[in-house]
Structure 1
Amino acid sequence: MGKLTTLKGKLKDEGSQMKLNMVHLCSSENDKIIDKAIFKATTHTSHDPPSDKYVTFLQSTVDTSYGPQAVTAIVQRLCLTKDVRVAAQCLILLHKMVKSENGYREEEDSIRNLIYNQGGSNLNLNDLNEDSSSFAKELSPWVQWYKLYLDCFLFNAGVLGVTPNIKENSEEKRVEAERVASYTTDCIFEQTDFLVDVFEYISGRPETPTDKPNRIVIEMIELVVKDYFSVMRLIKIRLEELNERPDRPDEFVSVLVRLENCMEGLSEFSWRNKNSNEDFWSLVLELKDG
């Protein structure tokens, strides 16, 4: 059955390549290069996440005029596919594309907005075909969850005006703290409320495969863990600022309770950055019980 599944996958890839060749009869050279990279990064037969070679190339288009074109092509492949592997690989590509955005970009056609507007609620992944392989069946709930998670992540990027991608860097945190200090209390609380949504989505992820490592799922988790610590830093800055304000909203405690409810589901990642993790959760509990 595994050989039959692989054969079907190869035939689908060949069919996709033939369609691509037809489209490229009237395409520019840049179109061909971008489409080829996307095709090679998202195949029906691979059990691996997109190759770094193609990811790096596609990320290099983000700050160029070809960025929107690359994103549109990835979203289109995601919308058209019925294969759970291809869908997973496309979502990973989109996640990596948006995380490669630099700085506080205000353009309406920024990569994150383009992905959110073209995908988001318009994207239906309920009709994905699951072949008989345990790999595909294991991957399916992760794809469904990952799509919803990315919707939430991108929505937060829109609320913040920047992709949640802050590093453990004192200068980046200082700049962010200065920005937050200039906001109204209601604005800070609203942002915090939405950022907690990201924690809740991460906490509610499917069970991690234990029998045999699923490399695509592992890649999803790695990307989400990086988001987790970035969002943690953003929430911490906002909690500290809210704690200094005399006019904290009545709902402040309820947000802290929501955070506390995420602790257990996020504890799996604590070893990645133990000090930051302990500092954050100590602050949450202190504010909640204070």
Structure 2
Amino acid sequence: MGQRKKLRDIVGAMKDRGSLVKASLSRKPAASATRATVLRATTHKSAAAPSERRVAAVLSLGLGSGITASACIRCLAGRLGRTRNAFVALKCLFALHSIMIHRSSRDENLCLYSLCFEGKGFLNLPKFNDDFDEEAMEYSSWVRWYAALLEQSLIASRALGYVLSSSSSSSSSSSCSQLTREYKREKMRAAASSDLMRELEVLVTSLEQVCDAPGSLHLQRNDLVYGVVRSVCQDYRMIRCEVFSRVEELGGDERLGSSSPRHLTRLLSALERVEDCREKLALLFVNKANADGLWDLIARTKTKMRGLMRDGGRSSTAVLGGGGAWLPWRDRFSANAFTAVW
């Protein structure tokens, strides 16, 4: 088996060299340079992750002008679509994710991503499988998970209206970013509960996708997989932050006091879906990024909601501290009451 792997690495190195020669013969210097940079950062060599120098070279393209970045992303996506090698695929996905993370603060309107991915499941890797050996098939499961996670990240970004990435909420961000976060909070306070609910459900789906990581966590000993999980952990913090802010807003007494039974049911379902992820997320990230109080907030919100939903809305009353009384037979709230009927 060791000889087979060595032979595979040799064949892969030959393919990489042949691709570089082909790229150098292009009559378009800019396209040739972009392709060569991508090839050097996504080699077939399975022993290690690409060097920081190679990743930085790809990032310099991905963070350039719209035309340059678009060409780089299309080149990565094209190599990803053609390869059947799990290590090449993981390196392409890692490079794409790095560009998404670092470019988010300057591409809030998603123009670049819409241009490159056209709103579709652009990676299209649910059936990716490198069947060279059992280990390659295990790495293939990481490729499928990582691709689905990046696609879901873009879906969530479109739903929120801005790129869902850790860099836009970094604690070391500038005062401009602080103003952006304050603007988001004010926008959330003014949003309709139905809109916040839709956003929360999309974010919960993103958490579930993170949670759906392969069971072969021992492969994190590989530098490449470790780097992938570390990058995903950064985005996981961002997703938790977005989930927390929406649960906090939707779980306020005023919002809950004016919610229909259908809305309460949807919210309770979303909260339970988040809690179902708790054990796997703790295992994947070794309890990192779990100190924000999300689990306590969910428990408190569920306790308040269960009080509202008890007995299907037919029992006695309890003071909510404002917001009107729900009239179950009319599915609305009275304007001059301060108690909720259940």
Both proteins in one fold, TM over 0.5: yes
CA displacement, residues 8-54 of structure 1 (integer Å, 9 cap, x when unaligned): 211221222233233x2x112x3233222101000111333333223
- Aligned residue type for 1:52: E
Report the equivalent of 1:91: 93
Query: Are positions 1:74 and 2:85 aligned together?
Result: no
- Aligned residue type for 1:267: A
Report the equivalent of 1:164: 164
Report the equivalent of 2:212: 204
3-state SS of 1:272 partner: coil
Q: For residues 76 and 232 of structure 1, what CA distance do their matches in structure 2 show? A: 32
Q: For residues 180 and 95 of structure 1, what CA distance do their matches in structure 2 show? A: 27
Report the equivalent of 1:247: 258
Contact 2:141/2:214 (8 A) holds in 1: yes
Q: For residues 181 and 240 of structure 1, what CA distance do their matches in structure 2 show? A: 10
Q: For residues 91 and 3 of structure 1, what CA distance do their matches in structure 2 show? A: 24
**1:255–1:210: structure 2 CA closer, same or farther, 3 Å change rule?**
same
Deviation of 1:220 after TM superposition, in Å, equals 1.5
Counterpart pick for 1:236 among 239, 244, 265: 244
Give the number of the structure whose alpha-carbon radius of gyration is greater: 2
Counterpart pick for 1:4 among 3, 7, 22: 7
**1:271–1:123: structure 2 CA closer, same or farther, 3 Å change rule?**
closer
**1:34–1:118: structure 2 CA closer, same or farther, 3 Å change rule?**
farther
3-state SS of 1:158 partner: helix
Moved more, 116-125 or 256-265: 116-125
- Aligned residue type for 2:79: R
Report the equivalent of 1:130: 131
- Aligned residue type for 1:199: L
Query: Are positions 1:117 and 2:131 aligned together?
Result: no
**1:120–1:17: structure 2 CA closer, same or farther, 3 Å change rule?**
same
- Aligned residue type for 2:230: E
Report the equivalent of 1:64: 65
- Aligned residue type for 2:65: T
Deviation of 1:281 after TM superposition, in Å, equals 0.9
- Aligned residue type for 1:287: T
Report the equivalent of 2:23: 20
Contact 2:107/2:163 (8 A) holds in 1: no
Report the equivalent of 2:336: none
Q: For residues 157 and 80 of structure 1, what CA distance do their matches in structure 2 show? A: 27
Gaps of 5+ in 2: 305-342
Query: Are positions 1:273 and 2:272 aligned together?
Result: no
Report the equivalent of 1:48: 48
Q: For residues 184 and 104 of structure 1, what CA distance do their matches in structure 2 show? A: 28
Q: For residues 55 and 179 of structure 1, what CA distance do their matches in structure 2 show? A: 36
**1:90–1:118: structure 2 CA closer, same or farther, 3 Å change rule?**
farther
Report the equivalent of 2:333: none
Query: Are positions 1:183 and 2:191 aligned together?
Result: yes
**1:118–1:129: structure 2 CA closer, same or farther, 3 Å change rule?**
farther
Deviation of 1:127 after TM superposition, in Å, equals 5.1
Contact 1:68/1:109 (8 A) holds in 2: no
- Aligned residue type for 2:85: D
Deviation of 1:118 after TM superposition, in Å, equals 7.8
Deviation of 1:211 after TM superposition, in Å, equals 7.0
CA RMSD of aligned residues (A): 2.4
Query: Are positions 1:143 and 2:159 aligned together?
Result: no
Contact 1:5/1:131 (8 A) holds in 2: no
Q: Percent identity?
A: 24
Q: Which has the higher contact order (CA 8 A, sep 6+)?
A: 1
TM-score by length of structure 2 reads 0.75
Q: For residues 110 and 183 of structure 2, what CA distance do their matches in structure 1 show? A: 23
Q: Which runs of 4+ in 1 moved over 6 A?
A: none
Q: For residues 2 and 270 of structure 1, what CA distance do their matches in structure 2 show? A: 32
Deviation of 1:99 after TM superposition, in Å, equals 1.0
3-state SS of 1:149 partner: helix
Gaps of 5+ in 1: none
Deviation of 1:107 after TM superposition, in Å, equals 4.7
